[in-house]
Amino acid sequence: MPGRPLSRRTALGSALAVPVVLGACDIDPPRRESESSPATPPPEDSELVATVVASLVRAGALLDATTTEVPGLAARLAPVGAAHAEHLDVLVGAVPDAAVPTAEPVSVPPRIVPALAAVRRSEQRLLRDVREACLAAASGDLARVLGSVAASTSQHSAALATEVTS
Amino acid sequence: MSTLDALQATLADEHAAVYTYGVLGARTSQSATPTLYDALTSGYRRHRARRDQLQVLVDEAGGEPVAAAAAYELDGRLLRAPQVEAAARELEVASVERLTALVAQSSGTVREWALTEATWSAAWQLELGGEPQTWPGAPELG
């Protein structure tokens, strides 16, 4: 679908470039505070994105290793990995010159039940990281994107929570 | 849109959600479809608590909480369990969109609450026959 990734990146890139900075009061109307440097993403939000990107890379590496070690889980984990890849694509595209970190090697139990348990723990850790970044984001639009990532991750975690029978 | 506006819009949606869940529950047989009945009951309770919390948040923001309408029009025929389940699922899909909008328009404890509710509504869709999505609440990114 030509142009769609660019449009998604542009949308979030713009969100980072024009942050919504919130005051101390929880319910004050958001106000924009970036007129002086509209082209520069706020450093704190770029760091948040980098944190989430690193967490997605880590979670993705575990999924890949699990699929390799326990092929019987491949079909179940494929949708999770596809979602991570989409989330990663949008977030990496939002930060100019963003580098995707290399994942550390991971070891995976060679049996379905413990391997799936490790994936569940990994996804819960990812969800915590995304939530923290969402709550800390200066840009309201970035917070919304991260909120969607958190919602997606919670859905996949719920799907993984069902018991395996083999 | 200000945070207060976003809170009021979310509250207006929650009034409709509570009404809708009530109708859906009334059209569901506890004996014939106990799993669906339980899911609707839990959803009703969650949205009722959410509506109550939103009224508090609007009040704290200095607004007058929007009132519920006398009745709401429900789309489609809701005579069979799959139709009822789909209607509840669509309600949760819409809730995630509204709550992620509130996430964008708030900070601090309000954003944290909205995020928690958004992730609950997203996960609850699976109890209602839904599948995980890549961009719940932000479909334009998909």
Percent of chain B with pLDDT over 70: 99
Q: Which residue, A126, A115, A105, A106, is CA-closest to A51? A: A126
Q: Do A151 and B122 touch (CB under 8 A)?
A: yes
Q: Tell me which amino acid residue B67 is.
A: A
Contacts of B99 in chain A (CB under 8 A): 147
- pLDDT at residue A3, rounded to an integer: 25
Contacts of A92 (CB under 8 A, 6+ apart): A53, A98, A100
| B119 and A CB contact within 8 Å | yes
Q: Do A152 and B105 touch (CB under 8 A)?
A: no
Q: Do A152 and B136 touch (CB under 8 A)?
A: yes
Per-residue DSSP letter, A16: H
Interval B14-31 mean pLDDT:
95
Prediction ipTM score: 0.95
Number of domains in chain B: 1
What are the φ/ψ torsions at residue A21 (nearest 5 degrees)?
A: -100, 130
A89, A7 in Cβ contact below 8 A?
no
Residue B79, pLDDT above cutoff 90:
no
Interval A73-77 mean pLDDT:
95
Question: Which of A2-16, A35-49, A143-157 shows the lowest per-residue confidence on average (mean pLDDT)?
Answer: A2-16
CATH architecture assignment, domain A44-160 = Up-down Bundle (1.20)
CA closest to B108 among chain A residues? A26
Q: For the domain that residue B98 is a member of, what is the CATH number? A: 1.20.1260.10
User: E strands along chain A, which residues?
Assistant: 20-21, 31-32
Question: Whats the size of chain A, residue-wise?
Answer: 166
Tokens for A98, please give them. Answer: 């963003």
pTM, two decimals, is 0.87
What does pLDDT average to over chain B? Answer: 95
- Structural domain boundaries, residue B130: 3-141
